[in-house]
Every structure is written in C-alpha cells, then in structure tokens.
Structure 1
Amino acid sequence: MQISVVIPTYQRPQTVGQTVRSIFAGDYENFEVIVVDQSKDDASRVALAGFMADPRFRYIKTPRLGASAARNLGIAAGKGEVIAFTDDDVTAEAGWLAKIAAEFNADAELQFISGALVAPEYDRSAGYIPEFTPFKGMTGWQLVLMAANANFAMRRALFDRIGGYDELCGPGGVLKSSDDGDIVLRIVRSGARWKGCPHIQVTHTYGFRAGALADTLLDEYDYGNGAIFGRAARRGDLLAAGWFMARETKLLLRGMMRALRGAGAPSLPRTRLAGFWHGFQFSPHENIPGAAELRSLGLTA
C-alpha cells in the first residue's frame, strides 16, 4: 500500500526539514512525501534541498494561500491509495506510516484514521502546545472538535465521496481555523467508517505558543469551531447545527450555575457564535472542491 504524505508549509524553513527527515527515517518503505510550500521566499526550498533528488519526495511551490488550499494541492498530486497529513512543526515516530498501513490493511471498510498529536514536556504556565489523543468511547462529535490535521490518514476514494478540504477554513482562510474539524464533520456525517488510534503518534515538537499568541490561537479555534457548524447548517445539516446549539446552551447553563455558587461570571460563547454566523453566510459548498476539481488540480500541481 502506497501512502502519500502531504505537508503544507508557510515560512517555517527551520522546522519543515525536521518533519520530512523524521518521515524518511521511519521503517515503512512504500511512501511519498509531498511538501506544498506557500512561503514568500525560498528558504524552505533551501532547507529541503537534500531531499530533492529522492524520487519519493515532491516539492510544490504555490502562490495560493491557506493551509486547506495546500492540502488540496497535495491530495491532487499524490499517487497513494492512502493520503496521510501532517504539519511542518512535528516529528513523526519511526513506526508512524507502518502503523497507518496496518490499520487500513486490517479493515477494508476503514476510511479515516485520526492519530495522536503528542506534546513534549513544557512549562504549561508559560504557554500552550496544541495536542490531542483519541480516547475509548470518543464520539464523532467529540472527534470533530478535538482532532488535529497533524495526524490524519484517509483513503483517497473518500475524497470522491465528500470533496476536498474547505478552503474557507484553516490557517490563511477567512474562517481562521478548524479545517480539520470541518473535514472530520463531513466524514462522520457521510457515514464513513473512522477510527481513533492513540498508538499512532506524532510529536508537536515546535508547537509552543506563549502568552498572547496562545490566547489568540485558542480564540481562533473557538471561532473556527463555530464556523464549521454554521457551514453545516447552511448545507442543511440540521442535526449537526442542533447538536452545536445544544452544546453551547449546556455550557452556558453550567456557567450560570457556577456563577450562582459564587464561582464568577459565566463565560459567554460569543466567539463561537460569531464564527457560526460567519460560516452560515457562505453558500453551501463554496470553496470545497469536488472530485473532478481535485483531479484538475493534479494536472497543474
């Protein structure tokens, strides 16, 4: 089974090389790595120069912005039966691709895997590193809000069913974040078989955000999480929209109960609701490439 690994990168020449190096150092042989570089300069190309002659490596420079647009280009360019995604600031464990292949080989109906994004040791009082580990009994709704693009894998055929990444979502998109949540929501709602795999791990080696940067990132996560459910509502997925609104109501009521017990004023979900309304304003499938459009991207990648 060939696995195509797609890595979007933007202005991170100091880390993307380490990410690629960790994949090549693994114990699985049938793979290719596709780096889609949206940087303003050629520093990342220089950092990756040592891989350029390897037939398993492909470098795509594009003026298109947004992590979702980069992932769609990578999907289109990839040749593998399975497409794996990671980010340009992580380190893949040695068995990462072998474990992904084993899961898909063991279950012909399995369409999507969400692995663990592990944080290294750090001072949690000084900042924040995004992390996520799937857990037993996790629901699809929980996966939508928690899973991370840095450790995804899915069969190529799934994109024919649900389309590509929503280019309104994610870093560089107008809806700021949650490109991972959006595609997971569409996977879950399509009925495709998925699995959380805590034993498949990458480490968020360079993911630390301090102080105000951490606060901004968390606000963008909230905004994006609201936006993807607004998008779902506009597509007519009233179950998804209803689940989101019920969750927000429950969180607000919990906050009010704490306030009544003297634990402080309740936190209002303004950011998520603002994101919901923004996402709702776009047409249902705007900026989500279908199967034919993804194939056409492959002709120019």
Structure 2
Amino acid sequence: MSVSPPMISAAICTRNRGASVAATISTILAIDDIDFELVIVDQSTNEETAQAVAPFESDPRVRFIRTGTKGLGVARNIALGEVKSDLVAYTDDDCTAPTDWLRKVYEAFQIDRKIAVVYTTVEAAPHDSSVGLIPAYRAKGERVFSGVLDKRSARGIGAGMAVRASMVRAMGGFDEMLGAGGQFPSCEDWDIAVRALIRGYSVLETDKVSVVHFGFRSHDESRFLSKRDWTGIGAAYSKPIRCGHVSFAGVIINLLSSYALTPFFRDLRQLKRPRGIMRIVHFSRGFLQGMRTPINKSTLCFIPAQAAPAAPVTVKQTVSS
C-alpha cells in the first residue's frame, strides 16, 4: 500500500551547533495543522548534535542524516535529495518556528505555480544591540517577483527560505561552492533566487509568517561575517554577468548603492566614522574570484576545481508500525 507524500517538508542543515538545534526541532514538531516531515542534515565533526537529536528520533516525521560533507550549499542539496514533498521549508538550527509556519509557507506557494522560492520574515530574538546583533529580515508585505531586476527588492535570508524542489532540481540545485563552509562562504540563499528569476520562475516574499532567530553575533564577529558575506555575494553575482545576463548589472549597482555608498556618504554628512566602503572592497574581491572560477553556464553553478569523492551519508529514520 503506497503512502502519500507529506504536503510539505521542513529541513534543518546544521554543523557543530550541538544542543541549540533541540529548540528548533521542538517548535517544528509542535506543528499539528498540516501533514509534514522534518529532515535534519548534520555535517558535524562531533557527536553533540546527534545526541541532541536522539530524543526526537522516535517521531516518525523525523529523518536524521549524518554526513561527512562540508558546506551549506551541499547540505541544502542533500536535504533536497531526501525530502518526499515538492515543497521544502528551510530554517536554521538557531531559530524557532510558530505553529502555523509550515501551513503559511504551503499557502504561499499556492499563490502562483511559477513560484520557485519563498522568503519569509525572520525576527531577531530579544538581545542587547549595544554589544552585538542578530541577523534578521522583515518582509515588506506579500509580493511576487518575476523579473531579474526584481532581485533589487527580494532580499530574504536562508533562515526563512522555502523552495519548490522540482524547480530547484531542474536548475541544478543549490550552488555547492556557496554558503557557510564553502569556497565562497555565503549567498547560496540569494543565489538560488537570482537563478530562479533568470530561468523564468517567480520569487515570493511574504510577511504573513516568520521565524525567530537567536543567532547572536558580537560586533567583532559581525565584522568578520560581513567580510564573509560580501565576498560570497560578489562571487555569486559575477555568475549572471559572465553568462551574458548584462541587465543584472542593475541589481549590483542598486545593491552597492543602497548598502555601501549611501551609508558612507550619510555618515560623512553627519560627521561620523564612515561605513560601507569595505563592503565594496570585499564584494569586488569575491566578484574577481568568481570571474576566475569555472562555471556551468546552463545551471549557473560554479564547478569545483577537483571533484572530491562523495562523503558517506547515513540516514536514520523511524518507521511507524
């Protein structure tokens, strides 16, 4: 007797976060208004995450995947290959989700069959902003983007991202050289939207649902992460230009103007220490590195210099009797 696939799959990609993932899992498993599964991809180099997940493995909705691979782009693709639903909602291992999270994400995809990527609001948990920050993103209403230049406005983050698996697989999956732990350690979440728009799919941003992010960074950590992020963005944004999508230059100009030049000149006018120029420096370095990296022009994914043997993957799944 065949079993119908779940209406939606939730996915968590984690590496060496230990017990923090337990809160994320708990809030997802509290959801009871939609049929779903939860796929956890663990790239940890220790046993702490496995120990944190163990109490939840008796739940038949949970599948825990241990892998010796590295890189968030790789982990997202492993999840994409394991899910049973065509709709996949990703969140981070330091987030919590409300009980209507998956239902609202499911409903978002019903707006238009061309939607390949959905971004939701990501709220920052309460924290002391004088000593650091928590990355967050507030969606501006509910909007469907269909043109490449629309990426100027669609700027969600991976902690609140969902994809239509069949469309993303048709695009070649996530770029495995992008994302934390990859050669270009960020921007796999923005890159998938760029490539979807280029391919003719749509991207939706919605403020009707959110997750809460607890990933606090000190100001020193934030400076390091800013360098990482802008290098990754530069590399990712070199790909459309290299592949002949010259209109994408408008997205790049808008991004650098909004997040680098505007803050720089605003601070100068207010006699403050100017911010923003290092973002251009890091973006430029990533862009130049991306221009020199081999690329598959049909998928707009970077090609690793030397493909490594596939790392072993262990899937643990509880099957209900």
What residue in structure 1 maps to residue 193 of structure 2?
A: 184
Go from structure 1 to structure 2 and tell me whether the alpha carbon gap of 1:19 and 1:237 turns closer, same or farther (over 3 Å shift).
same
**1:110, distance to aligned residue in structure 2 (A):** 3.1
Go from structure 1 to structure 2 and tell me whether the alpha carbon gap of 1:88 and 1:255 turns closer, same or farther (over 3 Å shift).
closer
Q: Is the contact between residue 231 and residue 282 of structure 1 (CA under 8 Å) also seen in structure 2?
A: no
SS for the counterpart of 1:13 is coil
Does 2:98 match 1:88? no
Pairing 1:16-31 to 2, within 5 Å after superposition: 16-31=21-36
Which whole-Å CA distance do the structure 1 matches of 2:219 and 2:276 have between them?
20
* Matching residue within 227, 246, 262 for 2:235: 227
**1:4, distance to aligned residue in structure 2 (A):** 1.4
* Matching residue within 40, 46, 49 for 2:45: 40
SS for the counterpart of 2:41 is strand
What residue in structure 2 maps to residue 292 of structure 1?
A: none
**1:30, distance to aligned residue in structure 2 (A):** 1.1
Alignment length, in residue pairs? 292
SS for the counterpart of 2:9 is strand
| Paired residue type of 2:286 | G
Q: Is the contact between residue 93 and residue 201 of structure 1 (CA under 8 Å) also seen in structure 2?
A: yes
Q: Is the contact between residue 259 and residue 266 of structure 1 (CA under 8 Å) also seen in structure 2?
A: no
Q: Is the contact between residue 144 and residue 203 of structure 2 (CA under 8 Å) also seen in structure 1?
A: no
Higher helix share: 1
Does 2:197 match 1:198? no
Q: CA RMSD in A?
A: 2.8
Which whole-Å CA distance do the structure 2 matches of 1:78 and 1:245 have between them?
37
**1:27, distance to aligned residue in structure 2 (A):** 2.8
What residue in structure 1 maps to residue 126 of structure 2?
A: 121
What residue in structure 2 maps to residue 293 of structure 1?
A: none
Q: Is the contact between residue 68 and residue 170 of structure 1 (CA under 8 Å) also seen in structure 2?
A: yes
Does 2:152 match 1:142? yes
What residue in structure 1 maps to residue 281 of structure 2?
A: 270
Report Cα offsets for 1:207-228 as digits up to 9, x if no partner: 1011311211122222222121
Which whole-Å CA distance do the structure 1 matches of 2:281 and 2:43 have between them?
32
Go from structure 1 to structure 2 and tell me whether the alpha carbon gap of 1:102 and 1:283 turns closer, same or farther (over 3 Å shift).
same
Which whole-Å CA distance do the structure 1 matches of 2:206 and 2:46 have between them?
37
Report Cα offsets for 1:188-237 as digits up to 9, x if no partner: 222212211112110002x1011311211122222222121112222322
SS for the counterpart of 1:164 is coil
Which whole-Å CA distance do the structure 2 matches of 1:264 and 1:126 have between them?
18
Q: Is the contact between residue 118 and residue 201 of structure 1 (CA under 8 Å) also seen in structure 2?
A: yes
Go from structure 1 to structure 2 and tell me whether the alpha carbon gap of 1:249 and 1:214 turns closer, same or farther (over 3 Å shift).
closer
Which whole-Å CA distance do the structure 1 matches of 2:252 and 2:144 have between them?
17
Does 2:222 match 1:211? no
| Paired residue type of 2:170 | R
Pairing 1:251-262 to 2, within 5 Å after superposition: 252=261, 255=264, 259=268
SS for the counterpart of 1:153 is strand
Go from structure 1 to structure 2 and tell me whether the alpha carbon gap of 1:3 and 1:245 turns closer, same or farther (over 3 Å shift).
same
What residue in structure 2 maps to residue 7 of structure 1?
A: 12
What residue in structure 2 maps to residue 77 of structure 1?
A: 82
* Matching residue within 243, 247, 257 for 2:251: 243
TM-score normalised by the chain length of structure 1: 0.86
TM-score normalised by the chain length of structure 2: 0.81
Q: Is the contact between residue 116 and residue 168 of structure 2 (CA under 8 Å) also seen in structure 1?
A: no
Q: Is the contact between residue 143 and residue 184 of structure 1 (CA under 8 Å) also seen in structure 2?
A: no
Which whole-Å CA distance do the structure 2 matches of 1:276 and 1:135 have between them?
29
Which whole-Å CA distance do the structure 2 matches of 1:172 and 1:163 have between them?
20
